[in-house]
Each structure stands twice: as C-alpha cells, then as structure tokens.
C-alpha cells in the first residue's frame, strides 16, 4: 500500500491533452490581433502561464499588446476552443481507482481557474478532486507553481511526507522539491520528461496507472 494519502496533479500534459485546443486558440489570437509570432506556435510552448507564453510568442512585454492577445486568446479558448481537449488514455480509470483506494486528490495548475473548472466538468471529474488551485485564484496572482503548492499544503493542512505531486515538466518536479514532496514524472504528455532528465529522488511514471502510484 502506498505511503501517500494525497496526490496533487498538474493538468495540461498530465491528465489532459490540451495542445490542439490551446495552439488553435493562440493562432486565432495572433491572427485576430494582427500580431506576428516570433517563434512557431507548437506544443513546446505549452506549460507556462498565459501572459508569459504570449510574451515568448510575441517577443514583447508591451502591456497593451499582451493584454490584446490575452483577451483574444481567452475569447477563443473559453468560448468553445477548450472543447477540443481530450483526456489521456487511462487517466479516468487512474483517478477513479485512486479515489476508490481512499486517496485525496487535488489539482495544482498554471492553467487559469475558469477553463480548469470547465474542463473538469466536461470530463465529469470535478467531484474527484478535493481542491483545485490555479495561479490566478488570487489577486494579484500567485507568483509560481511552487508558491501555489505551498499555499495549498498550508491551507488544506496537507502533510508533505504523505503527499506526492504528479506532473510532466521539470518545473513540476522542481515545485515538488521546493515543498519537500515526492514527485512522479508523467511520461505520456507533450512536456514528458525522459529517464535521463530526472533529478535525484524523482520517480518515472510510465503510464497513467493507479497501481504504480499505489505501490510506491
């Protein structure tokens, strides 16, 4: 039986394949605002918060430009684009199996809170999670994923030795490390870490299978 009573999950690239929906909405935002992207709009840009990604794609930090792009992206994505999101095969079963085993499940994501909740509802997952944390859940927004998880642990009285974080990017592992959490690296998403990219103490999660998590 797992030593973990609690699992916190990243969302994009871990539970869901949101790349087609996100990339289409970014392309629409740049086209609609007449802004030229300075780098290809491809899946390797997915992961950071929205405004940081827009700055990367546009090559500018000009507030007015970023705000126009942000508004256009939100209109495209929240207005229906997110419906192109799919769940990775095996994820639904993994989440239900973890809940059936009595585990507490949570979300900690860089994604905005509104579309996160909409996607959880779309897959019928909202009741599986005891909390959903996002960077924009506060004003001003939380400064980093590590800070978000720290707040989550504190506010919910989650015990670090009994809690693991599951994500697909190095930032996820580093955020887990910053909070003394065990980290499982998902290998199936677009930000998937390879075995030679793992830091000491990180565990490779080859498939979305509750048995692997429950046997750790």
pLDDT, tens digit (0-9, with 9 covering 90-100), for 164-183? 999 999 999 999 999 999 99
71 with 156, same domain: the answer is no
End residue of a domain, out of 54, 83, 112: 83
Tokens representing 150?
């720290």
Domain ranges, residue 188: 6-17+86-214
CATH code for position 24: 1.10.150.240
Distance CA 16, CA 189 (A): 8
181 with 95, same domain: the answer is yes
161 with 181, same domain: the answer is yes
Which of 31-40, 44-53, 82-91, 166-175 has the least mean pLDDT? 44-53
Tens digits of per-residue pLDDT, 78-133? Answer: 999 999 999 999 999 999 999 999 999 999 999 999 999 999 999 999 999 999 99
Indicate the number of domains in the chain: 2
List the helix and strand counts (H, then E) for the chain.
8, 8
66 with 131, same domain: the answer is no
Decide: 195 and 204 in contact? Cβ < 8 Å: yes
170 with 115, same domain: the answer is yes
């Amino acid at each position: 039986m797992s030593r973990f009573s609690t699992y916190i999950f990243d969302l994009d690239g871990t539970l869901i394949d949101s790349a087609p929906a996100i990339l289409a909405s970014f392309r629409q935002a740049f086209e609609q605002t007449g802004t030229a992207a300075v780098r290809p709009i491809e899946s390797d840009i997915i992961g950071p918060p929205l405004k940081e990604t827009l700055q990367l794609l546009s090559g500018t930090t000009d507030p007015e430009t970023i705000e126009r792009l942000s508004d256009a992206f939100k209109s495209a994505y929240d207005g229906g684009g997110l419906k192109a999101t799919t769940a990775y095969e095996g994820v639904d079963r993994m989440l239900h199996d973890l809940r059936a085993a009595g585990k507490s499940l949570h979300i900690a994501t860089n994604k905005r809170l509104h579309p996160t909740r909409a996607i959880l509802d779309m897959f019928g997952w909202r009741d599986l999670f005891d909390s959903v944390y996002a960077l924009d859940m506060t004003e001003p927004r939380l400064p980093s994923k590590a800070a978000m998880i720290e707040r989550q642990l504190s506010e919910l009285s989650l015990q670090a030795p009994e809690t693991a974080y599951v994500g697909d990017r190095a930032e996820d592992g580093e955020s887990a490390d910053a909070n003394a959490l065990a980290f499982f690296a998902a290998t199936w998403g677009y930000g998937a870490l390879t075995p030679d990219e793992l830091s000491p103490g990180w565990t490779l999660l080859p498939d979305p299978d509750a048995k692997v998590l429950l046997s750790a």
